A and B are shown apart, each in its own frame.
Chain A
Amino acid sequence: GIQVEQSPPDLILQEGANSTLRCNFSDSVNNLQWFHQNPWGQLINLFYIPSGTKQNGRLSATTVATERYSLLYISSSQTTDSGVYFCAARGGSGNTGKLIFGQGTTLQVKP
């Protein structure tokens, strides 16, 4: 099955800094999503982005499907951005198969 790897595993930023999180996947994907898990365990869907670029406020994401990676950009980080960021991918064609999660990037934003 598809393998999903995220980097870096941990990231510490000062408030106001920018960051880029990376997600590599081992096969072609027909689904790629980014999630943020807050310190209370709630997983929030940030982007559904199997290809192309999307922006939502200070967050944006780009997936280059042909090169098998996706990037999540966080600009002007805030302490509320702290938590774990996951990407999840589904490989192959059609609508079968399951979403596989990467191991996550743990982000700590210091005031």
Chain B
Amino acid sequence: KAGVTQTPRYLIKTRGQQVTLSCSPISGHRSVSWYQQTPGQGLQFLFEYFSETQRNKGNFPGRFSGRQFSNSRSEMNVSTLELGDSALYLCASSPTPQGNEKLFFGSGTQLSVL
């Protein structure tokens, strides 16, 4: 079974631009969660989607948004990028709503904002 796939692996953007990151969960998994990882703040929860519905949202500004498609693939979008948005963005999937079972992570997208 293929693991969680995130694309792209690396991304360089400039301030003010917007970016879209993609996540394909493990086949059969319907829950997708997104996390932001930075050296200073650690792993912070962004949001979770299950069956195309947002179940939970973390404490991030409205510039951060996401969605999930009927095939469970998910995208997250960051608009009006700021330097502080530079981070490793991790996607995780599980069969059922987040954390009822093991969470499986992708390799992440490293975003650099210049």
Query: Of A41, A95, A100, which is within 8 A of B107 by CB?
Result: A41
Interchain nearest-CB distance for B76 vs A (Å): 15
B contact patch SS: strand
Complex Cα gap A86–B90 (Å)? 14
Chain B residues with CB under 8 A of A95: 96-97, 99-100
Is there an interface contact between B45 and A43, defined as CB atoms closer than 8 Å? no
Residues on the B chain within 8 Å of A102, using CB: 42
* A residues 74-108 in Cβ contact with B at 8 Å: 86, 88, 90, 95-104
A42 and B56 contact, CB distance less than 8 A = no
Whether B100 lies near A101 (C-beta < 8 A) is no
Q: How far is the CA of A77 from the CA of B44 in the complex (A)?
A: 29
Number of B interface residues at 8 Å Cβ cutoff, please give it. 26
Q: Do B105 and A99 touch across chains, with their CB atoms under 8 A apart?
A: no
Which residues 59-92 of B have a CB within 8 angstroms of A? 88, 90, 92
A contacts with B, residue count (CB < 8 A)? 23
Cα–Cα distance between A83 and B111 once the two chains are bound (Å): 21
A45 touches B104 (CB 8 A): yes
Chain B hits for A70, CB < 8 A = none
Indicate whether A24 reaches chain B with its CB closer than 8 angstroms. Answer: no
Query: Are B103's CB and A99's CB within 8 A?
Result: yes
Interface set of A (CB-CB < 8 Å, partner B): 31, 33, 35, 40-45, 48, 86, 88, 90, 95-104
Which residues of chain B have a CB within 8 Å of any CB of chain A?
33, 35, 42-45, 48, 55-56, 58, 88, 90, 92, 96-105, 107-108, 110
* 17 A/B residue pairs, CB under 8 Å, sorted by A: A33-B99, A41-B110, A42-B105, A42-B107, A43-B105, A44-B105, A48-B101, A48-B102, A88-B103, A95-B97, A95-B100, A98-B99, A99-B98, A101-B44, A101-B45, A103-B42, A104-B42
Pairs of residues from A and B, 9 with the lowest C-beta to C-beta distance, nearest first:
A43-B105, A101-B43, A31-B99, A48-B102, A98-B56, A99-B99, A98-B45, A90-B99, A95-B97
